[in-house]
Homo-oligomer: A and B are copies of this chain.
Amino acid sequence: MEKEQLQHIQVKSDSFECSVTTDIAVFGYVEGSFKILLTKRTVGDFKNRWLLPGGAMEDKETLEDCAEKVLFALTGFKDIHFEQVRAYSALLRHPIKRVITICFYALVKPENHPLALKGDVEEIAWFDMDRIPENLGFDHGQLLRDAHTHMKDNLKDKLVVGELLPQKFTLAELQNLYETILGTRLDKRNFRKRILQMDLLENTNEKKIGVKGGPLLYRYKKKR
Say if the beta carbon of A188 comes within 8 Å of chain B. no
| Nearest B-chain residue to A23, judged by Cβ | B10
Contact of A89 among B5, B64, B86 (CB under 8 A): B64
A206 within 8 A of B: no
The CA-CA distance from A59 to B100 in the complex, in Å, is 11
Q: Is the CB of B102 within 8 A of A58?
A: no
Q: Within 8 Å of chain B (Cβ to Cβ): is A205?
A: no
- Determine whether the beta carbon of B119 is less than 8 Å from that of A102: no
Question: Bound state CA distance, A43 and B87, in angstroms?
Answer: 29
Among residues of B, the one whose C-beta sits closest to the C-beta of A6 is B73
How many residues from A make CB contacts under 8 Å with B?
57
A54 to B13, CA, bound (A): 15
Chain B residue contacts of A9, Cβ below 8 A: 21, 55-56
Could you say which of B8, B41, B57, B100 contacts A54, with CB atoms under 8 Å apart?
B8
Residue from A56, A69, A100, A120 whose CB has the most chain B CB atoms within 10 Å: A56
The contact string, 1 if C-beta is below 8 Å from chain B, for chain A 99-117, is 1111000000000000000
Is A26 engaged at the interface, CB distance under 8 Å to the other chain?
A: no
A26 to chain B, nearest CB (A): 12
Tell which of B20, B60, B73 touches A20, judged by Cβ atoms closer than 8 Å.
B20
Asked if B8 and A41 make an inter-chain contact with CB atoms under 8 angstroms apart, the answer reads yes
Please give, as numbers and ranges, the residues of chain B lying within 8 Å of A99 by CB-CB distance.
Answer: 10
Question: A4 to B54, Cβ gap below 8 A?
Answer: no
A8–B119 touching, CB < 8 Å: yes
Measured CB to CB, the closest approach of chain B to A28, in angstroms, equals: 17
With A11-B96, A99-B10 known as contacts, the answer to whether A90 contacts B118 (CB < 8 A) is no
The reply to whether the CB of A184 lies closer than 8 angstroms to some CB of chain B is no
Q: Is A181 an interface residue (CB 8 A)?
A: no
Contact present for B90 and A62 (CB under 8 Å): yes
Name 12 extra pairs, CB < 8 A, besides A10-B44, A11-B44, A17-B19.
Answer: A4-B118, A6-B55, A6-B70, A7-B39, A8-B39, A8-B53, A8-B54, A8-B120, A10-B54, A10-B94, A18-B20, A63-B87
